């Protein structure tokens, strides 16, 4: 996975880079004397790269299509699960009680529980089972007017529509991931170019206490965001039994800063620049969770307690 090299949000990188290159432009003669590569055209090219990076789709733009498709998938999955429940009713009226368990399983029941957790592959599997079962057992299920004659077609149609929607979602999600990588790669380059220039500025103005702060990244970050002893801490617990969960990974999506919970489920990520963050929470055996819009204020360690649900119900 492509790592973010910048210790702040993407927007802060762009704002700080503008400040830094503006200071470079204002002191161009000093920079050119130090390294002749510093010219007005050189600075203009770096600002063009900055503009291009900033213009790449932001997170909300990248995720709009897959998120809309996710909503549609949930509704399509609900329709599919309703068909399975109808099929169970037809089975119940068509077979002796001692055969029901085997018939339910043949119709795809083992996949149903995972469908309830929005496992799209399980929905596809469920509908494959339902489609085959309803077609092969149509004569038995239709006897005595139990199953409507058009039911197998409804199942087949729902299956086809869900699979098509699922493929669209996977493609959109993949494209969003590619766009995310492009955005990070471009922003990393903006940060690298800026860092090199700031290092040169620090060398040029090492004995100039007035100019030197304009070429120190932490000073610029504080000027932009008021970054101080800010961060986030909390406890991660099991959604069912409320017990703390160790070794949960919490990652700040915008910066890549991360932490693992300790033996009692506690975590802390600091220092951070003030701003709004998206937290990515993952742990083996639990459903991953994305927490958008968490605000970190200047000089404040905010508290965020997280509850994770198991990825599957165990016996």
pLDDT of residue 314: 42
Angle (nearest 5°) at CA 288 between 275 and 294: 15
Residue 23 to residue 210: CA distance in whole angstroms: 12
- Size of the chain, expressed as the number of residues it contains: 315
Q: Token digits for 254? A: 């915008």
- Residue 12 contacts residue 224 (beta carbons within 8 Å): yes
* Cβ atoms of residues 252 and 277 within 8 Å: yes
- Looking up tokens 């993407």 gives 10
Can you read off the two tokens belonging to residue 194?
Answer: 């800026």
Q: Cα–Cα distance between 8 and 225 in angstroms, integer?
A: 9
Report which of 224, 254, 252 is spatially closest to residue 19, judged by C-alpha positions.
224
CA separation for the pair 91, 15 (Å, rounded): 64
184 Cβ contact list (under 8 Å, min separation 6): 2, 3, 4
d(CA 298, CA 281): 23
Instruction: Enter the pTM of the model.
Output: 0.63
Q: Which residue numbers in the chain have pLDDT < 70?
A: 1, 225-229, 298-299, 312-315
DSSP label at residue 244:
B
Check residue 259 and report its DSSP letter.
E
Q: 3-state class of 306 per DSSP?
A: strand
Angle in degrees, 0-180, between the axes of helices 151-204 and 10-26, rounded to the nearest 10: 30
From the DSSP assignment, how many helices (H) and strands (E) are in the chain? 10, 8
90 burial level (CB within 10 Å; 0-12, 13-18, 19+):
buried
Sorted by where each starts, the structural domains of the chain and their CATH numbers stand as 1-225 (no CATH), 226-308 (2.60.40.1120)
DSSP class of residue 123? H
Q: 20 near 212, Cβ under 8 Å?
A: no
Residue 298 confidence (pLDDT): 62
**Contacts of residue 168, Cβ cutoff 8 Å, sequence gap at least 6:** 69
Q: Is the peptide bond before 271 cis (omega within 30 degrees of 0)?
A: yes
- Tens-place pLDDT, residues 223-262: 776 545 578 999 999 999 989 999 999 999 888 889 999 9
pLDDT at residue 132, as a whole number: 97
- CA 203 – CA 220 distance, rounded (Å): 17
pLDDT value, residue 219: 82
């Amino acid at each position: 996975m492509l790592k973010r090299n910048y210790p702040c949000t993407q927007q802060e990188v762009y704002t700080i880079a503008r400040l830094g290159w503006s200071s470079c432009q204002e002191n161009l003669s000093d920079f050119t004397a130090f390294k002749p590569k510093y010219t007005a055209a050189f600075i203009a090219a770096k600002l063009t790269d900055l503009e291009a990076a900033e213009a790449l789709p932001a997170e909300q733009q990248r995720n709009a299509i897959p998120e809309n498709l996710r909503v549609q998938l949930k509704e399509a999955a609900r329709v599919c699960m309703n068909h399975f429940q109808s099929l169970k009713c037809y089975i119940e009226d068509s077979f002796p009680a001692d055969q029901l368990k085997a018939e339910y399983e043949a119709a795809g029941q083992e996949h149903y529980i995972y469908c309830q957790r929005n496992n799209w592959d399980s929905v596809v599997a469920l509908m494959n089972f339902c489609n085959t079962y309803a077609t092969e057992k149509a004569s038995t299920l239709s006897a005595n007017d139990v199953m409507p004659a058009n039911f197998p077609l409804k199942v087949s149609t729902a299956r086809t529509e869900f699979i098509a929607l699922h493929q669209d979602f996977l493609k959109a999600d993949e494209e969003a991931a590619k766009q995310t990588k492009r955005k990070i790669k471009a922003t990393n380059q903006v940060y690298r170019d800026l860092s090199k220039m700031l290092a040169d500025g620090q060398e040029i103005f090492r004995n100039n206490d007035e100019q030197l702060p304009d070429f120190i990244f932490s000073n610029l970050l504080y000027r932009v965001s008021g970054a101080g002893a800010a961060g986030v801490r909390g406890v991660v617990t099991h959604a069912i039994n409320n017990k703390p969960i160790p070794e949960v990974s919490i990652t700040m999506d915008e910066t890549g800063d991360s932490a693992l919970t300790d033996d009692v489920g506690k975590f802390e990520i600091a220092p951070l620049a003030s701003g709004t963050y998206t937290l990515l929470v993952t742990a083996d055996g639990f459903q991953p969770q994305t927490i958008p819009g968490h605000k970190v204020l200047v000089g404040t360690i905010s508290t965020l307690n997280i509850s994770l649900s198991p990825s599957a119900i165990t016996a």
